[in-house]
Amino acid sequence: MTKVPNPEFEADCIRRILAGEKHLFHELIRPCERAIYFLLLSILHNQADAEDAAQETAIKVFRNLNLFRGDSQFKTWVLSIARNEGLGRLRKLDRLREDSLDALTDGDSGDFTPAVLTSWREVPAEELEKQELAALIREAIDNLPDIYRNVVLLRDIEEMDVCQSAAALGITEGSVKVRLHRARALLQRKLAHKLKSFAPKRGLLGWGR
């Protein structure tokens, strides 16, 4: 999956779209659409709403393209529009909870100690061909508190850097790091024991590091 942004392509594309080559917008937005959808799914918890909000986001990006300043990355800007779209919908539904507002402080509350193990056998990514494993991981992510899930989504799933993630979510880089750390700890604790059965049973190559 190519997620690497190409600022020159983007800048050139934006110039040409604003000059009238509107069809190029399809190519401009394409590399962002996955991240838009999953960020909105993470905020709205509903596929149909997330899809509709994703379409609305893309249209807003198009309509406001002239407002994009090259001082942030295009994808970051797009995701902050997506996030506003999602939070706006929650507000309308009166479902805007404290944690979606990012009002939660990154205090010391909560237990983020990992599951303690004495050995680990690598579960290869190919195992994800098994729906059962993919579902297990999806469920663990779905069950994270919103503020942690959003960070995992941008940092680990969309592979955005700390600075971009902070800008897209409107939080500090420090918060991104703290939340990511906690999210990974929660996921490890939730998943480690369940993942064991997906490790290769035996063999010389499958062991540990």
146 binds other proteins (CB under 8 A): no
Per-residue binding string, other proteins, 32-61, x by CB under 8 A, is -xx--xx--------x---x--xx--xx--
Residue 92 interacting with other proteins (CB under 8 A): no
- Under DSSP, is residue 189 helix (H, G, I), strand (E, B) or coil? helix
Q: Given the structure tokens 């960020």, which residue do they identify?
A: 39
Options 23, 92, 201, 202; binder of other proteins; rule CB under 8 A:
23
Q: Is 1 in the site for other proteins (CB under 8 A)?
A: yes
Query: Considering beta carbons, is residue 21 or 98 the nearer one to other proteins?
Result: 21
Phi, psi angles (nearest 5°) of residue 182: -65, -40
Q: Which is nearer to other proteins, 98 or 139 (CB)?
A: 139
Contact 44/53 with Cβ under 8 angstroms?
yes
116 Cβ partners below 8 Å, 6+ apart? none
* Sign of the four-CA dihedral 180, 185, 191, 195: positive
CA atoms of 155 and 181, how far apart (whole Å): 11
**Under the criterion CB under 8 A, does residue 156 sit at the interface with other proteins?**
yes
Select 7 or 114, whichever has its Cβ closest to other proteins: 114
The strand ranges marked E within 127-192 are none
Nearest-approach distance from CB 94 to other proteins, in angstroms: 26
Check residue 181 for interaction with other proteins (CB under 8 A).
Answer: yes
Residue 84 beta carbon to other proteins: minimum distance, rounded to whole angstroms: 18
